[in-house]
Amino acid sequence: MKTACPRPNAYAATCPTRLVLDRVADKWAVLILGSLSEEPVRFDELRRLIEGVSQKMLSQTLKSLERDGLVSREAIPTVPVTVEYSITPLGRTLSATVDGLLIWAETHIDQVLKAQKQYDAGLQRKAA
């Protein structure tokens, strides 16, 4: 707890750490960042790439990401308009950090699943 914005109680509405956490907590945001890691992608392409997004959530999330400076938007004046989204350098550093989490998930999911089974089994016995 030696940082300017103290953890773990950095969640007061006034504290901006919360803002970042909320962003990462957003399923679609993480997915979008990942999809843009290799190259710029168009709106509709993203829609197909990210299975299950509604166009509302896609548009909404892209707008937030752009506002946060994590993604940049470029409208190319073709007919009809083409819009390319790409990840910014800032977004890339965040993405790298999030990757740490994904790796944790992949390497520890077995333990989590096992713990769940044991827990549920314990409840079974009590119920009986």
Q: Nearest CA to 37 among 92, 93, 85, 89? A: 92
102 binds a copy of itself, rule: CB under 8 A: yes
Decide which of a copy of itself, DNA, none touches 73; Cβ closer than 5 to 8 Å per partner kind: DNA
Neighbours of 1 (CB within 10 A): 7
Under rule CB under 8 A, how many of the chain's residues touch a copy of itself? Answer: 58
Decide which of DNA, a copy of itself, none touches 80; Cβ closer than 5 to 8 Å per partner kind: DNA
30 binds a copy of itself, rule: CB under 8 A: yes
Neighbours of 52 (CB within 10 A): 9
Phi, psi at 127, each rounded to 5°:
-65, -30
Residues 6+ apart with CB under 8 A from 1: 7
74 binds a copy of itself, rule: CB under 8 A: no
Decide which of a copy of itself, DNA, none touches 98; Cβ closer than 5 to 8 Å per partner kind: a copy of itself
77 binds DNA, rule: CB under 7 A: no
Decide which of a copy of itself, DNA, none touches 56; Cβ closer than 5 to 8 Å per partner kind: DNA
- b/e for 57-70, b at 16 or more Cβ within 10 A? bbeebbebbeebeb
Exactly one of 75, 106, 121, 126 binds a copy of itself (CB under 8 A); that residue is 106
The beta strand positions in the chain, using DSSP E, are: 41-42, 71-76, 82-87
Residues that bind DNA (CB under 7 A): 26-27, 42-45, 52-57, 59, 62-63, 73, 80-85
